[in-house]
Amino acid sequence: MARKTFFCVDAHTCGNPVRLVAGGGPNLVGKNMSEKRQHFLREFDWIRRGLMFEPRGHDMMSGSILFPPHDPDNDFSILFIETSGCLPMCGHGTIGTVTIALEEGLITPKIPGLIKMEAPAGLVTIAYQQTGKKVDWVKITNVKSYLAASDLTIECPELGLLTFDVAYGGNFYAIIDPQTNFSGVHNFTANKIVQLSLILRNRINKKYPNTFVHPEDPTIAGVSHMLWTGEPLDAKSSGRNAVFYGDKAIDRSPCGTGTSARMAQLHAKGKLGLGETFVHESFIGSTFIGRVEATTTIGVYEAIVPSIQGWAQVTGYNNIIIDDDDPYAHGFQV
Ligand code: PYC
């Protein structure tokens, strides 16, 4: 019998869960986080499945494991573990992880107020404000984000032909804006979005194979997330989204990589300028403040450097046991 205990600190970022594995994580081999992510997927994915899926997690569960930096100038490296796999980058996961790590004293940034974090998708710099123990906000300057393709089409059950764009913000997003056959997220239930997204993501990756590949890291490939847009609940917000990930999840936060992809799409289409802010509302109405910090290029693409600001709340401590005797040790999905 093998029994393994993981000490986790749980939190939520604007409503979406974050489970930081602070004890019990594996040793990974690789010269950067992209290589370590591949090592984890080959040998330790049972940890992700056990801690993210039912009965220890749920459809929206998302987490992280911290590692030392590869470059001594940086503060730490991060592996994201989610129901959807090990994402190259996760914005809400970063905001939650940084909040937990600072409040629980798990990290001591070399420069107070500024963190350099190595994610599988690249280097991310993070500013934050802490009052006493409490972290008030976290602002991520994310990886280069770009519009990869626009005005593609896909046949959607019930709705008919849909036009969509694909943008990268740390993951590849198919972005569906309101149009003749789609009146906007404000007219749809979460269940309907999940049901349609699962079918559409499969169809998109089948219709456009080997099309969406990161110019600098070919391990990041394919549309993993669907971002549906629509009218905000609060007139002061710039827009609202429903981001689908995994097989059943709608992000309760406004989604950091999704907001980055959305800003890259809008910037490329001349709808969001350098220095402009974009207040992005999640499906439940929580908000991130996005901003186009700089313009740049990546491969053949015009790109932006986006920032996303949000907050997180620690919710508890969790010693989680994964015991080989348990038939559901490595989780299940219904
Ligand atoms: O915040 O980047 C994000 C994210 C990805 C999936 C769920 N949240």
Residue 1: the pLDDT is 59
Kindly state whether residue 252 falls inside one of the protein's structural domains.
yes
324 CA to centre of ligand 1 in angstroms: 30
List residues with catalytic annotation: 90, 255
Report the number of distinct structural domains present in the chain: 2
261 in the same domain as 237: yes
236 in the same domain as 125: no
155 in the same domain as 103: no
Pocket test for ligand 1, best of 244, 257, 259, 311 (most atoms within 8 A of CB): 257
- At residue 77's C-alpha, the angle toward residues 58 and 245, to 5°, is 30
131 in the same domain as 29: yes
Pocket of ligand 1 (CB under 6 A): 62, 87, 90-92, 245, 251, 253, 255-258
Residue 54: the pLDDT is 98
Amino acid at 139: K
Residue 75: the pLDDT is 98
Question: Which residue puts its alpha carbon closest to atom 8 of ligand 1?
Answer: 255
Residues of the chain with pLDDT under 50: none
115 in the same domain as 218: no
Q: Are strands 312-323 and 3-13 parallel, antiparallel or unpaired?
A: antiparallel
Residue 132: the pLDDT is 97
- How much is the ipTM here? 0.99
Q: Are strands 114-119 and 76-82 parallel, antiparallel or unpaired?
A: parallel
Helices of type H across the chain: 33-43, 45-52, 91-103, 190-207, 256-268
Residue 208: the pLDDT is 97
Report whether 37 contacts 71 (CB < 8 A): no
- Domain extent, residue 171, equals 145-299
Kindly state whether residue 280 falls inside one of the protein's structural domains.
yes
